[in-house]
Chain A
Amino acid sequence: AQTVTQSQPEMSVQEAETVTLSCTYDTSESNYYLFWYKQPPSRQMILVIRQEAYKQQNATENRFSVNFQKAAKSFSLKISDSQLGDTAMYFCAFMYTGNQFYFGTGTSLTVIP
């Protein structure tokens, strides 16, 4: 069975600072995908960033980057130059080909002006 663990239920960061959200997962699959989704108060689910397990290079998307450690089964999200609009719930998710997403319990991030 696949599990995704987010150990930080709540975090806060000053505007313009950097914050890192942690995520670990457990799987016996070798080919899989990892994602971070953002859920603002409107409760939409917005894809932030994606990482393929077969790629060693960490994914980057503007101010968002990941630290993917496959051996450690760790997939953290770094948000640089935090903005007020980054305030949201962040979910780490795992998927293997053709299958469902497995979500973590989420980290509530508050950006403080």
Chain B
Amino acid sequence: EPEVTQTPSHQVTQMGQEVILRCVPISNHLYFYWYRQILGQKVEFLVSFYNNEISEKSEIFDDQFSVERPDGSNFTLKIRSTKLEDSAMYFCASGETGDQPQHFGDGTRLSIL
């Protein structure tokens, strides 16, 4: 069964550094999403992406965050200058259409030191 693939599985970064989290969505999917889950808390929406542009973003997704689909297969989340509170599990998800279940990747655990 096709899967959403995220790399790396664990990223450790110094505070203030830039980090790029990578995702390869399922190949025929058109809708892409990033979510965040701080340890012990619920999963929170960050951003959705469709037709090569952001379709929706949450209050969490401020100017420090950006997303890109650089080559038609990867979908990346960049955090420009990381803060301690950015430490969380980041999930990428993709959907074939807007009303189909989103398939989640296994997540990237981001640890900011």
Contacts and interface: CB of A to CB of B under 8 A. Distances in A.
Interface of A: 33, 35, 37, 42-47, 50, 91, 93, 95, 97-106
By Cβ-Cβ distance, the 7 closest A-B pairs, closest first, are A98-B98, A45-B104, A100-B45, A103-B43, A97-B99, A105-B42, A103-B42
Interface residues of B, number: 26
Contacts, number: 57
Interface string B93-108: 1000011011110110
A35 B95 CA distance: 14
A49 to B, nearest CB: 10
A104 B93 CA distance: 17
Nearest to B47: A100
Nearest to A96: B99
Given A45-B93, A97-B98, 5 more contacts: A97-B99, A98-B55, A101-B45, A101-B93, A104-B42
Q: Which of A43, A44, A99, A101 has the most CB of B within 10 A?
A: A101
A93 B104 CA distance: 13
Contact of A99 (B41, B48, B93, B106): B48
B68 to A, nearest CB: 19
| Residue in A50, A93, A98, A105 whose Cβ sees the most chain B Cβ within 10 Å | A98
Contacts of B89: 43
A43 B107 contact: yes
Contact of B104 (A33, A44, A97): A44
Contacts of B55: 98
Contact of A98 (B35, B43, B99, B109): B99
B56 A44 contact: no
26 contacts: A35-B101, A37-B104, A42-B106, A43-B106, A43-B109, A44-B104, A44-B107, A45-B93, A45-B104, A45-B107, A47-B104, A91-B43, A95-B99, A97-B98, A98-B55, A98-B98, A99-B56, A100-B33, A100-B48, A100-B56, A101-B43, A101-B93, A101-B102, A104-B42, A105-B42, A106-B42
